[in-house]
Structure 1
Amino acid sequence: MQQDTTKTSPTVTVLMSAYGVDAFLHQAVESVLCQDYEDFEFLIIDDASPQDIATELKCYGDLRMKIVRNEYNLGLTRSLNKGLQMACGRYIARMDADDISLPQRLKIQVNYMEKHPEIGLLGGQADCIDGDGNIVFQERHPTDELLLRWLLLFINPFWHSSIMLRASVLKLIGGYNNCVRYAQDYDLWHRLAPHTRFAQLCEPVILYRIQGKSITSSCGREQEAIALNIIRNALQILKCNDMVDDDIRGVREILINLPACHANEKSIKIMCSSIGMFAKFHKLTFDHELAIKNYAKKKMHVFLRNNQISLDKSKDSGI
């Protein structure tokens, strides 16, 4: 159905960068165009795809959709920044070309942002799907802001394609860092952290596609190296200067529940120490610090059990 969008300043800009045309792209596009909320523009950056995306998507005939083609491949970070410069919305809703936005996503997120003007970054939960659209597992990230900020020291607690951002806050920091090729979202959250409040919805807003061709899968080593650099810089602010990369990897394994390659008793003690440093830096109350410790303790026990590591090794961890 063709929409009549004469309004020059939509409330939301849905921003997607795409390379190539496949069934996943069509599903992603349709999930945006079929939102219950209608006051948006859908800005798609065609990153010099072999097929012209505008031609392929012409069949939808929806005037809310604007497709801009790069003359040559810029990569995700620069394409997103190009889109941000063109965006007209007060809010920026990120969308990946192989994920699916649930029908009420924009309505839920806009309502939340309108009621909470102090929030600059709003995430949501995700149900993870395979290539056929079957739900593989349901991932639920924390919703408490202080816990999210502590987790951000080591891992990314937000799904990039679930995020809604306040455009004014993005403008303040200049958008994504063009020098960061991968983990650009993780870098952005860290740069946003001093300037705005974070929030995370308890309900799912997207279906997140797990597939071998994703950036996370194909460029894992380079992405991890960038993430480690971001983490080291964040830990230095807290004066946690005694962690080497393998220590950081160990804590990440515990929090993400990965196979134990670097995690050991020292990792658990370091994780606990980071909570204390974080609590001191942010002047947390006892109850807030305890809540983070309890979360870390649960993660630790799940990790130890799944890796068949004796719980006795953690008895003096301090958690």
Structure 2
Amino acid sequence: MNYSVLMAVYAKENPQFLKASIESMLAQTIPTDDFVIVKDGPLPACLEEVLQIYHDHLHLISLARNVGLGPALGIGLASCKHELVARMDSDDLSRPQRIAKQLAVFAQQPECVLCGGYIEEFIEEPGDLGLVKKVPIETKDIFNFIKRRNPFNHVTVMFKKNTIIQAGNYQSFYFNEDYELWIRVLSSHPQVTNLAECLCDVRVGNGMFERRGGWKYLKYDYALQKKLLNLGMTSPLEMSMNVALRSAVRLMPSSFRKHVYTHFLRQNQGKKTITD
């Protein structure tokens, strides 16, 4: 079963992180023959040098200017040659068996259109935090979860290209390109799933909690809730409750926001688990 890999990179990426990310995909037990990387605007020499190292393994698409993650991924997806497409971020790591496990899901569940999984967050080296971000597994639970939060870890997803294209493809949506896309995809009630295991190791920085606050973020939270309501995927009461909760979290000082997020940590098989 063939598949494509879809990644976007822009000027501020770390070249060492990019190198490690590419290598984690090339090291998959089932390799790809279509690794699409969209250069979202001009890149500095240090990033171009990394891409040149793996040039023979990559399908590079160059954009004249930076258009943002959503539009860049939309352009890249249109160029993917296989129906199954695995997303990958330019600074994270896929575990070696990730693709094999996801391909097995699509082979066993032909009606499935989207498959993700858990992630483990780290700062310097994988495992140094022991924070696992879980997501719901079953389709019905994913449909309930999407009313409140993003039900997929974006870096882990593999999906059917035609499903994403028919839903309108990736679009620009402030730090929530994926969540907004999943809402459109799930509005037609397809079969989707997550694997109950970590597929990727994801870098987190000290500014994570600061980035998750502010009026602009809240504005797009409201827009997501409004879209859910318009598509009949939530109720006015649920929307009001979710907006109120998001408002409190987005507008509180970052130190308090960090406390709120860590309040949801719980022990699971010796590791802390977080839902976001």
TM-score (norm 1): 0.69
Q: For 1:223 and 1:11, how far apart are their aligned partners in 2?
A: 37
Q: For 2:37 and 2:247, how far apart are their aligned partners in 1?
A: 35
Query: 1:161-209 deviations in whole A, cap 9, x for unaligned?
Result: 000011121122231124x243010011000003321100011110011
C-alpha contact 1:109 1:164 (8 A) present in aligned 2: yes
- When residues 210 and 172 of structure 1 are mapped into structure 2, their CA distance, relative to the original with a 3 A threshold, is same
- Which residue matches 2:235? 240
Q: For 2:251 and 2:8, how far apart are their aligned partners in 1?
A: 35
Structure 1 moving runs of 4+ over 3 Å:
52-55, 131-135, 216-221, 242-245, 249-254, 258-261
- When residues 41 and 212 of structure 1 are mapped into structure 2, their CA distance, relative to the original with a 3 A threshold, is farther
Gaps in structure 1 of 5+ consecutive residues: 1-9, 262-302, 308-319
C-alpha contact 1:155 1:252 (8 A) present in aligned 2: no
- How do 1:181-260 residues align onto structure 2 when only pairs under 5 Å count? 181-195=174-188, 196-212=190-206, 218=211, 220-221=213-214, 222-236=216-230, 237=232, 240-242=235-237, 247-251=241-245
Q: For 1:217 and 1:197, how far apart are their aligned partners in 2?
A: 35
C-alpha contact 2:119 2:133 (8 A) present in aligned 1: yes
- Which residue matches 1:169? 163
Larger Rg: 1
Q: Secondary structure at the match of 1:66?
A: strand
Shift of 1:259: 10
Q: For 2:210 and 2:20, how far apart are their aligned partners in 1?
A: 21
1:89 aligns to 2:82 (yes or no): yes
Shift of 1:132: 4.0
Match of 1:57 among 43, 51, 59: 51
C-alpha contact 2:118 2:197 (8 A) present in aligned 1: yes
C-alpha contact 1:131 1:211 (8 A) present in aligned 2: no
- What is the one-letter code of the residue matched to 1:94? R
- Which residue matches 1:28? 21
Match of 1:17 among 8, 28, 51: 8
- How do 1:41-80 residues align onto structure 2 when only pairs under 5 Å count? 41-52=34-45, 53-60=47-54, 63-80=56-73
C-alpha contact 1:175 1:188 (8 A) present in aligned 2: yes
Shift of 1:139: 2.0
- How do 1:109-188 residues align onto structure 2 when only pairs under 5 Å count? 109-136=102-129, 137-178=131-172, 180-188=173-181
Q: Identity over the aligned pairs, expressed in percent?
A: 23
Q: Which has the higher contact order (CA 8 A, sep 6+)?
A: 2
Q: Secondary structure at the match of 1:182?
A: coil
C-alpha contact 2:3 2:34 (8 A) present in aligned 1: yes
C-alpha contact 2:120 2:202 (8 A) present in aligned 1: yes
Root mean square deviation of aligned Cα: 2.8
Q: For 2:63 and 2:251, how far apart are their aligned partners in 1?
A: 42
C-alpha contact 2:19 2:50 (8 A) present in aligned 1: no
Shift of 1:11: 1.7
Query: 1:246-292 deviations in whole A, cap 9, x for unaligned?
Result: x31455599xxx7996xxxxxxxxxxxxxxxxxxxxxxxxxxxxxxx
Shift of 1:13: 1.2
TM-score (norm 2): 0.79
Query: 1:53-87 deviations in whole A, cap 9, x for unaligned?
Result: 443322235x3312222111111111101101111
- How do 1:279-298 residues align onto structure 2 when only pairs under 5 Å count? none
- When residues 11 and 54 of structure 1 are mapped into structure 2, their CA distance, relative to the original with a 3 A threshold, is farther
- When residues 22 and 70 of structure 1 are mapped into structure 2, their CA distance, relative to the original with a 3 A threshold, is same
